[in-house]
Structure 1
């Protein structure tokens, strides 16, 4: 098939939305499709994609990047970094004529909007009048009100603005037009699916969009050796209110009171850094915390390999790339049973902390007791490490993409237009 893939975020070797856009482009080409990627212009991105294609001559004939941007800073994304969502919305409006030119030349069999994968923002590519797939979409995941108690004032305001934006989805004519004209709507989680109007549910499916590079999987068969019987916990990600690091610190304070011996390494930076440092001091666990800003990819790999468990108490992630990264390095994951992490994880490779019908104190106690139990019994880790290779063997990028497209193309084949 000839596929036009709209991937505003698309960059080799990166994570998050950039990684999703690129991995789906490569995966579709590896499955035998001919793929035209239309993506935001960026000089460093161009070089990265050119370098990749020169190293993969088997894909050069099937993977065609097409770069588009607008304004005086064409090819330079630096001015847009602080206002990326606004630039994305404008880009979606401006990219349609460019896509129409590509369609006139190549006569695509299918059009697919992949990034940004959020239900709050519209794509206009349904106007190409070709079978149109959107997603997987996230963004419908919401932090439970009772778990927002530790938010900063700014965090509360940002969360309320996000709630309002999600509430507006049902009334946003641009989003509703996109959903109406899409042939297949892929959602990352059941929470996002709940924002799809019932009249469009017959063409909606739930699919996690991320996977793992099988060649990056570490041998997880050896037992963990907690240094000096100290549990080495790790967090990797942005330090923003909804990532729930404040929740992890509160749980660790209780775990310390229960006698747990641990250290917690936090890799990342963000607006909440100073507040989190103050919170660690307030909880009297500052000596157990190691703070690191962003590090190189090779250094991050070493950090993963030097730790035992990823502690990831995010409050509304729609997927969880860091979870897959941690598992690939042999780290089981302790997470709240929410959103993408709740859909990704199982008790075979981690610990899911239940939140339904539980108070904040009950959730914190459960998390603290889980950490204490892991400290006292390293087999809690070892038994899960042994399950990781089999778990990951079914979660490669190509598996995720092939599975999503198998179901989507079947829906297209059997589709009756309403």
Structure 2
């Protein structure tokens, strides 16, 4: 790995521009979920310990290059102070005189938050003048926002090319976890890919069949693959127009030696609602008036058997309609097995994606996984094999 970490940087007495992701949900002027804020605490504390002065750069919502008072970062200050256990100073702009004066007034031990970087159009266009204005404020750049690393913005990519740069602790953890999962993993490797549509995960599937030994396909996406094999899936969610694509992916997997696991039995119901009357049938025996809402127990047993033979697991997407019982059973059972193998030291487990995080939290397995990414789009693009501008800039630096 070519990028540097905080351990490689001399920070004493230096102003450290720290790109963080604190774009958190807010209701009635209060942060309702401080998870993203809590995850930057190790980086900020390490900078303070090393004698640096952390200056936080962040975006909030989508003001589209204009000052929108309702999208000011002021709203996160109470949650930020609670997480850090100290006061946080605030500058009314992220560049220009307000930012310069606030930085100049910093004493050792202070933490400064600058106003929403997206209040300036130059942020999202990665404008050189915007980048230079930001760079003029600090001595060192630290990127701790892996979740924004797929954006080539001034504060995520441009700055790393103008100042000595390093990955923060959260960025470091993300990159190390993904390197362990896809870069140089312990083999065999199994990937679980679920969710509604094949069309949204074409690049992901295409990349994974070249990288993993086993590919478990679940959710509505599995219905598309079953239909592509000529199986009647009744009223199930399926993209019938993606049949040729599904067959191409299966052919590619055969050539690369990747074993695809599709449901052999399924849970079907005639109503998509909690505790609807349901039954388990063979995957090729879905009634014409029913829909497939989960993988069946035989399929779960096959998945668990694959997990037991593998050393690395990458998970993106649920195996069924996990939002409503009992159609969360397959996801919960497979997640529990993965968690148990992780606790026993037999499996490295890395997961990410919005539905994935929710599903694993719901199953109670999340805390036992090796690493769960909350990075969303950046996590998916990494899994798709794409170059992330924010990471590439750190490597170049």
Establish whether TM, by shorter chain, passes 0.5.
Answer: no
- The structure with the greater share of residues assigned to helix is 1
TM-score of the two chains, using structure 1 as the length reference: 0.35
* Structure number with bigger Rg: 2
Q: TM-score, normalised by structure 2?
A: 0.36
